[in-house]
Structure 1
Amino acid sequence: MLDPYVATIEAWLAAEPHLTAVAIIDRLRRCTPDAFGDRQLRTLQRFVKSWRARTAKLLIDGAEAVINIDAPASVPAGTEAGRTHQTPMPRLGNIAP
């Protein structure tokens, strides 16, 4: 049912990620009033949930890739022979409240 509209819905979500399934179905109803009813709302809700999960995973994977580029390949940052290196907090001196 959604197949012909997937690209359009994804474009709307990319431009406005906060859109709800109800707002999207309202837009779709304006485009094709006879094609979308209340029964399609649940399908659209699952689609939006799935799209958001995929998008979040891509963002997280992209961030991890950037972090991994900056860290040395042989020893992870902050470790030495499997032990975590703790850097002491710098002293700030006397700070009056």
Structure 2
Amino acid sequence: MRQRIAALHATLDPVHLLSEIRSAQRRLVAISDPPVLSEPAANPAPTLEEFLSGLRTAWQSGEVRPTAQPKLTAKRSRRRPDPFATASEQLWSWFEAEPWRTAREFLDRLQMEKPGVYPDARLRTLQRRLKIWRQEAACQMVFGILSIADGAE
């Protein structure tokens, strides 16, 4: 029994087996899907020059594999009331006038105008809001669109 197993093991060459499998697969494809004469020939691989010239704008096309597409999820809405609902227009006007200011500076201005209404704990919320506004302003300047979400449509 050991000799038979050793003889069988000696005949098993993984590279040869793989080539036989690929050959059988090609024969199956040829049988099941004969070429149609009206179909255009497959696009040949691009030359090195074509590939290199396309690198500058390749990032715009994104990932081409269907398995790599991100799953679209609904944007999560606010779960708590907006603490800056009454001051949003004022904050926006300050931001438009001086976009380089930090959220800390804007919060300090709000606290001076309305003492006791906006505690320091709201700083992170204001930072997030300014981040979104800056992102939208950058998209507007670079791409001419209002936000990244608008450009994806």
TM-score category (smaller protein) = 0.5 to 0.7
Letter in 2 for 1:13: F
CA-based RMSD: 1.3
Q: Deviations over 1:51-77 (max 9, x none)?
A: 1001111112229xxxxxxxxxxxxxx
Task: Give, in whole Å, the separation in 1 of the partners of 2:105 and 2:131.
Answer: 14
- Cα distance in 2 for residues equivalent to 1:57 and 1:5: 24
Larger Rg: 2
Of 104, 108, 119 in structure 2, the residue corresponding to residue 26 of structure 1 is 108
Answer 1 or 2: higher relative contact order, Cα 8 Å, separation at least 6.
Answer: 1
Map of 2:88 onto structure 1 = 6
Secondary structure of the residue aligned to 1:35 is coil
Of Structure 1 and Structure 2, the greater strand share is in: 1
Question: Percent sequence identity over matched residues?
Answer: 35
One-letter amino acid matched to 1:38: D
Partner residue of 1:41 out of 123, 126, 137: 123
State the alpha-carbon separation in 1 of the partners of residues 104 and 127 from structure 2: 8
Aligned residues: 63
Gaps of 5+ in 2: 1-82, 146-153
1:10 Cα deviation from its structure 2 partner: 0.8
Report the TM-score, using the length of structure 2 for normalisation: 0.39
State the distance in 1 between where 2:128 and 2:144 align: 24
Q: 2:98 aligns with which of 16, 19, 34?
A: 16
Q: Structure 1 runs of 4+ off > 6 angstroms?
A: none
Q: Which runs of 5+ in 1 are unaligned?
A: 64-97
Displacement after TM superposition at 1:35 (Å): 0.8
Alpha-carbon offset, residue 37 of structure 1:
1.1
CA distance in 1, matches of 2:132, 2:84: 14
Paired with 2:85 and 2:116, the residues of 1 have a C-alpha distance of 16
Distance 2:131 2:144 in 1: 20
One-letter code aligned to 2:110: L
In structure 2, C-alpha distance between the alignment counterparts of 1:57 and 1:3, rounded to whole Å: 24
